Amino acid sequence: MLPAEERSTAMDEEDRTPDTEPAADDGASQAVWSYRGYQLRPSDFTTAMVHFFRAEISRANVWRQRLDMTTNWAVITTGAAISFAFTGLQRDHSVIILNTLLVTLFLSIEARRYRSYELWSYRVRLMETDFFAAMLVSPFRPAPDWAETLAESLLMPQFPISVWEAVGRRFRRNYMWIYMILGLAWLLNVSLHPTAARSWREVVDRAAIGGVPGEWVIALGVLFNGGLLLIGVLTIGLSEATGEVLPRYRFLGRGEAEVAPARPAVGRAWFRPSSRRVQLMTLIVTDRGEAVAKRILDEMYRGVTAMPGTGMYTGHAHSVLMCALTVTEVTQLEVLVKSEDPQAFVMVLPVHEVLGEGFASLDEAGAGGPRASRT
């Protein structure tokens, strides 16, 4: 049995990952976290992540309040319209129809705000599951592609959910009940005012608005509300929204697995974008091919392929380096190449798919596996 101090030292050595190395002995020795050529102390990196997390939480809360605001508008106008239709001097049912159109406008505004809310909520969820949750278990090993995914969201922001999913979710959660109340209020209004209707034919006649026959008004109302209900039903299966209380992986909680997988890389996180990450290829024409290639290998950990080339204008021989990378690495590559050869010529090209080490495995080609995740 080892003494307590020796056991503590042994645990520290076991938990140290390859990306962690001791800093210079300056009286307060502290580990340094290295990533893409940068070195940060754990306290510096954690402080930055905490401030970033608080900022994204604040953004999400602001848009959450805006969502509640549009819902309040819909509820208030609905109550006012129904009160006017039943207690006003004319007791006209057309005010309910006009309010229905106004509520539809509020629904479209709220769906747009919901997409913005999901953007900030998506980033918060990434940090919760892949950074903060990983800190609670030893060793600290976030998912391999979480930093890449988060950085890409910062560099190229995109709404994580579609317009149809946003409309469907807000309709099912709030607006479906408002439309039901409006429909019931309209039917009661035309049935009871000015006196109780004695037949369906009388109800249809009262439903007329100006020169529009009652049959047309009822048919348009059924088609309108039926279309909204159809959107709500067809979008139930869409689950890209991150602002939901769901497990980290899609297959958990659906009868396919009872416990979380031992390795975080197994499965696909439900809140990750379903679209494939942007993949790029660079061609670098330089006279310092070996120096540039060594920097890419040592600092970016990306493979490089060298090819001979000849400038047709000057007739001089040059090295042509080919390297596959992701959108978040473009800036680092440009700075690296410029520091070695300011006269170099760099081309960044989009590619359809990259298979191999550091990207999707060749075994996953055509199998629907995850695409372009860093390993």
Residue 72 has pLDDT above 90, yes or no: yes
| 112 lies in some domain | yes
Same domain, 115 and 227: yes
Q: What digits encode the pLDDT tens for the residues 217-253?
A: 999 999 999 999 999 999 887 766 666 666 665 544 4
Same domain, 128 and 213: yes
CATH number at residue 358: 3.30.70.120
Structural domain that includes position 287: 279-364
pLDDT at residue 267, rounded to an integer: 46
Six token digits for residue 37: 């050529």
Distance CA 61, CA 120 (A): 9
Closest CA to 103 of 191, 187, 167, 189: 167
| 32 lies in some domain | no
| 25 lies in some domain | no
Question: Between 161 and 219, whose confidence is greater?
Answer: 219
Q: What digits encode the pLDDT tens for the residues 243-285?
A: 666 666 554 444 444 444 433 334 455 555 555 566 788 999 9
φ, ψ at 306 (rounded to 5°): -100, 140
pLDDT at residue 313, rounded to an integer: 83
pTM greater than the 0.85 cutoff: no
Burial class (CB in 10 A: 0-12, 13-18, 19+), 264: buried
Describe the strand order of the beta sheet including 317-326 as a list of residue ranges: 305-310, 317-326, 279-286, 345-350
Residue 46 has pLDDT above 90, yes or no: no
Q: What digits encode the pLDDT tens for the residues 187-196?
A: 998 888 888 8
Distance CA 97, CA 77 (A): 12
| 126 lies in some domain | yes
Q: What digits encode the pLDDT tens for the residues 311-329?
A: 888 888 888 999 988 777 8
